[in-house]
């Protein structure tokens, strides 16, 4: 099974609308999930969590209930790399936790198989590190500090936590994120302007991947 997760419903709709046939609707930890078939793959989609704690909680819950082989996390992120622009799609190759001090950087790698299939599905994806933390990055100084330390292309609040839970459980993982803000002083305004326009793009790419490849 493949589980596709997102913080908000708009971030998983590209997969949700392709679940044919639909096999089941239900709740897990009071969040809605749907299970169905895309291509030859059994797929479950779930959304409704934010930040590292809720992301880890939901990742463990879906692993315990569905025993997936893969979890793909779809959503939005803020740009750290100056080479990125609004609407660019980034696939995380390595995941860092930027707001917790420790010795070393404790990088977690993505599933090589998922990276290969995403690259084959959508040629415009940019591959590189993603940094996660429980803060909204909305000033240039913080943005530059995180980018300088980790070299991450984008920043979010969830990918590292899910990657960590997947690593502990032996589940293959990757996150696919679309840039909706620049992580600078106008980040919230940019998010509000761009989220609905671009939010479904990562899950649409994942849907194409599932139609094309048997995982």
Active site residues: 11, 181
Distance CA 132, CA 146 (A): 10
| Residue recorded with tokens 């809605």 | 32
Cα–Cα separations (whole angstroms), residue 25 to 6, 33, 67: 16, 6, 17
How far does the chain reach from its first CA to its final CA, in angstroms? 8
Q: Do 73 and 156 form a contact (C-beta atoms < 8 A)?
A: no
Which residue, among 15, 10, 133, has the nearest Cα to 71 in the 3D structure? 15
Helices (H), the chain: 13-16, 51-66, 112-121, 140-150, 159-169, 187-198, 201-212
Q: Residue 62: CB partners within 8 Å, gap ≥ 6?
A: 3, 5, 28, 33, 44, 46, 68, 71
The count of other CB atoms within 10 Å of the CB of residue 14 is 22
Distance CA 41, CA 152 (A): 31
Distance CA 129, CA 107 (A): 9
């Amino acid at each position: 099974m493949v589980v596709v997760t997102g913080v908000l419903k708009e971030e998983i709709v590209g997969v949700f609308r392709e679940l044919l046939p639909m096999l089941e609707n239900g709740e897990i930890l009071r969040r809605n999930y749907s299970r169905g078939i895309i291509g030859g793959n059994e797929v479950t989609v779930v959304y409704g969590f934010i930040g590292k704690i809720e992301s880890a909680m939901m990742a463990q819950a879906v692993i315990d209930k569905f025993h997936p082989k893969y979890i793909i996390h779809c959503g939005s992120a803020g740009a750290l790399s100056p080479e990125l622009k609004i609407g660019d799609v980034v696939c995380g190759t390595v995941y860092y936790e930027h707001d917790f001090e420790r010795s070393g950087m404790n990088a977690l790698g993505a599933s090589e198989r998922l990276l290969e299939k995403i690259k084959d599905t959508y040629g415009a994806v940019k591959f590189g590190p993603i940094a996660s933390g429980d803060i909204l990055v909305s000033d240039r100084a913080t943005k530059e500090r995180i980018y300088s330390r980790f070299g991450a292309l984008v920043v979010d609040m969830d990918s590292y936590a899910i990657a960590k839970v997947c690593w502990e459980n032996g589940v293959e993982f990757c996150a696919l994120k679309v840039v909706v803000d620049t992580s600078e002083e106008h980040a919230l305004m940019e998010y509000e302007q761009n989220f609905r326009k671009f939010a479904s793009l990562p899950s649409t790419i994942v849907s194409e991947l599932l139609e094309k490849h048997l995982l």
